Chains A and B, each alone.
Chain A
Amino acid sequence: MDLEAKALTKKYGNFYALRGLDLKVKGAKCVGYLGPNGAGKTTTLKLFTHLLNPTGGEALINGYSVQKEMKKALMEVGTLIETPDFYPYLTPEELLTMLCRIRGATKCDVKHALEEVGMYEWRNKRVGKFSKGMKQRIALAAALVANPEILILDEPTTGMDPRGMAEIREVIRDLKKSQRLIFMSSHLLSEVTEVCDEVAMLDHGTLLLHEPIDVVLERFRGNVVEVTALNKIDGEAIKGIKGVVSVEQISDTRVRIGFDDGAQTQHAILSALMQQGVDVVEYRSVGMALEKAYLEMIGGDTK
C-alpha cells in the first residue's frame, strides 16, 4: 500500500508545474499535501490518477507505473479531484453501481458509501439538480464505493459548510482506522493537523518537506499560549510565574501568555496556573504550529 513519485516532472512550455518530485508515502495513514495555489499539488494528484501524462519521471502505485500499467496501478485507488460533475439524468445509486461494475470490484458497497457521506436518502434522485456541496459528497462516495486501499483526495472539504467539513473529517478518520492510505491536498491547516499523520509541503513545483506531523509541530512550536478558565484570571499574579514574559488580558476569564521558548516551560506554566487556583479549561498555542511551519517554508500563491 504505497504511492511513490520518482523524479516526477510536468512541464508546460518553459514552466515547471512539477519539478523532479521524489516522494514516497506508505501504510495506513493520512498524508496532508500542502502548498499555495499553483504550487503543483493538483498536478501531482492528477499525475497519480492518469489525468495528466508526466514530462519526466514516473508515478508508481503499489509498485505499478500509472503510465505503463494504468489498470493495475489504479485498481486499488479511489479519487476525488476538483468537484466533478455527473451525468445529470442518473441517480447517485446508478452512478455508484456503474462505477462498481466497471471496476469489477467485488468489495463494493453502494449503500455504505452513500451512508458514509450522508446521501443515502438522496439515492434515487437525479444528480442534475444537486447543489455543489451535495455533488462533492457524491464525488467522495464515488471514491469510497469500491472500498479501495488508497484514497487520493484533492481538497475534499472545499465549498462545504462546517457540518460537511466535520463529517468528512470523520470519514477520513474511519478510513485510517480501517487501514487505508489517504493522500490529500488541503488549504485547511487545522484540518490537516487534526486528521493527518504526515505532511508534505510543496512550492513552485518542488518538494520542501515531508515529515511526520509531530516532528513539524514540535519544530515550529510557538511561544504564546491562550488560556481560558472557568473562574476569573488575575493577570498580575501570572506575571510572577517563572518563564512568563508577557501577559495580555483578553477578558476576565481569558489571557494570552508569552513565555521563554520551550515545551518544558509551556508545561510548567500550565502546572503553575493550576496551582494558583486557575480552573483552566483550555490551554493552547496561539497560531497553529503547522501554520507557522507553512509560513516559514512557503511563499504566497504562485502565478
Chain B
Amino acid sequence: MYLEAVNLTKRYGKFYALNDLNVKVEGSKCVGYLGPNGAGKTTTLKLFTSLLRPTRGEAIINGHSVQKDKVQALKDVAAVVETPELYPTFTPEEILQMSCALRSVNKCDIKHALEEVGMYEWRNKRVGKFSKGMKQRIALAAALVGNPEILILDEPTSGMDPRGMAEIREVIRNMKKSQRLIFMSSHLLSEVAEVCDEVIMIDRGKFVLHSSMDDVIKRFGGNSVYVTVLEMPDMAKIESIPGVKSVEKVSENRLNIVYEPGEDAQYRILKELIYAGVKVTEYNAAKQMLENAYLKLIGGDRND
C-alpha cells in the first residue's frame, strides 16, 4: 500500500508546475500535503489519478505505473477532487449503486461505505437538501464504495463550516482505522496537525520536506507556545525562567510564551513552570510547530 513519485515533473511551456518530485508514502496513515496556492499540490494529485500526464518521471501506486498501467495502478485508489455536485433527486444509496455499477467492482459494500462516513441513516433521503459537509461525505462514501486501499483528497474541507470540517475530520480518522492510506492536500494546518501522521511540503513545484508529525514537532520547536493555566501566575516569575524572552497574557487564563529557540527549550520551560507550581492544564504548540515549519520552509502564494 504505497504511493511513489519518481522524478515526477509537469511542465507547461517554460513553467514547472511540478519539478522532479521524489517522494514515497506507505502504510495505513494520513499524509498531509502542504504548500502555497500554485505550488503544485493539485498537479501532483492529478498526476497520481491520471487526470494529467507527466512531462517526465512516473507516478507509481502499489508498484504499478499510473502512466503505463493505469488500470492496475488505480485499482485500489479513489480520489475526491473538489466537492462534486451530486444529482439532487438521487438518494445516497442510488448514488453509491451508480458509482458501483460504473466501476464494475465486485466487492461493493454500500452499507459499509455509508456507515464509514456516518451517513447510513440518510441513505434514502434525496441529496438535494444536504449541506456541503454531507455532500462531501457522500462523495467520500462513493470513493470508499469499491473499498479502495488508498484515498487521494484535495482540500477535503475547503469552503465548509465548522461542523462540516469536524465531520470530515472524523471520517478521515475512521478511514485510517480501517487500514487505508490517505493522501490529502490542505491549507488548514490545525486540521493536518490533528488528523495526519506525516506531512509533505512543496513550494514552487519543488519538494521541501517529508517528515512525521512527531519529527516536525521536535524539529521545528519554534519559539512560542500557548499555555492554559488554572490560575494566572506571577508574570515576572515566568519571565525569569532562563530562555524565556517574553510573556503575553492572551486572556484571563491563557498565556503566550515566546522563548529563545534551541534544543529542548520547549520541554525545559514546561518543566520549570511545573516546578514553579504553575497550574498548567495545556501546553499547546503542535499547530504552531507545523506552522513554524511551513513558514520557515515555504514562501507565499505563487503569482507568476
Contact = CB atoms under 8 A, between A and B. Distances in A.
B37 A271 contact: no
B164 A295 contact: no
Interface in A164-194: 164-166, 187-190, 194
Contacts of B197: 251
Contact of B37 (A130, A131, A197): A131
Interface stretch (A15-23, A55-63, A76-84, A274-282): A274-282
A282 to B, nearest CB: 5
Contacts of A162: 34, 36, 187, 189, 291, 294-295, 298
Interface stretch (B93-101, B109-117, B263-271): B263-271
B163 A300 contact: yes
B280 interface: yes
Interface stretch (B49-57, B71-79, B125-133, B236-244): B125-133
Give chain A's interface secondary structure class. Answer: mixed
B214 A254 contact: yes
B1 to A, nearest CB: 19
Contacts of A218: 253
Contact of A303 (B129, B189, B279, B285): B129
A228 interface: yes
B221 interface: yes
A131 B300 CA distance: 12
A156 to B, nearest CB: 14
Contact of B280 (A189, A228, A267): A267
A134 B287 contact: no
B133 A161 contact: no
Contacts of B35: 161
Interface string B277-291: 001111111110101
Most chain-B Cβ atoms within 10 A of its Cβ — which of A35, A225, A228, A291? A228
A69 interface: no
B17 to A, nearest CB: 15
Contacts of A187: 160-162, 165
A213 interface: yes
A301 B285 CA distance: 31
A251 B29 CA distance: 12
A212 interface: yes
Contact of A274 (B134, B253, B271): B271
Interface string A228-252: 1110000000000000000000010
A212 B163 contact: no
A300 B133 contact: yes
A280 B300 CA distance: 32
B274 A274 contact: yes
B230 interface: yes
A298 B291 CA distance: 29
A164 B226 CA distance: 21
Interface residues of A, number: 58
A38 to B, nearest CB: 9
Give chain B's interface secondary structure class. Answer: mixed
A295 B164 CA distance: 10
Q: Interface range on chain B: under 10, 10 to 19, 20 to 34, or 35 or more?
A: 35 or more
A253 B189 CA distance: 21
A118 interface: yes
Contacts of B129: 303
Interface in A244-303: 251, 253-254, 263-264, 266-267, 270-271, 274, 279-286, 291, 294-295, 298-301, 303
Nearest to B266: A281
A131 B295 contact: no
Contact of A161 (B163, B187, B252): B187
B303 A131 contact: yes
Interface in A103-120: 118
Contacts of A228: 214, 217, 286
B27 interface: no
Most chain-A Cβ atoms within 10 A of its Cβ — which of B165, B188, B282? B282
B299 interface: yes
B89 interface: no
Contacts of A197: 251
22 contacts: A36-B163, A37-B161, A131-B37, A131-B303, A134-B301, A134-B303, A161-B35, A161-B187, A161-B300, A187-B160, A190-B190, A190-B287, A197-B251, A212-B251, A217-B228, A230-B267, A280-B283, A282-B284, A283-B283, A284-B284, A291-B166, A294-B162
Given A161-B300, A163-B298, A295-B163, 5 more contacts: A165-B187, A166-B295, A187-B160, A190-B190, A251-B197
Interface of B: 34-37, 129, 131-134, 160-166, 187-190, 194, 197, 212, 214, 217-218, 221, 226, 228, 230, 251-254, 264, 266-267, 270-271, 274, 279-287, 289, 291, 294-295, 298-301, 303
Interface of A: 34-37, 118, 130-131, 133-134, 160-166, 187-190, 194, 197, 212-214, 217-218, 225-226, 228-230, 251, 253-254, 263-264, 266-267, 270-271, 274, 279-286, 291, 294-295, 298-301, 303
Q: Please name the 3 residue pairs, one residue from A and one from B, whose CB atoms are nearest each other, closest first.
A: A301-B131, A190-B190, A161-B36
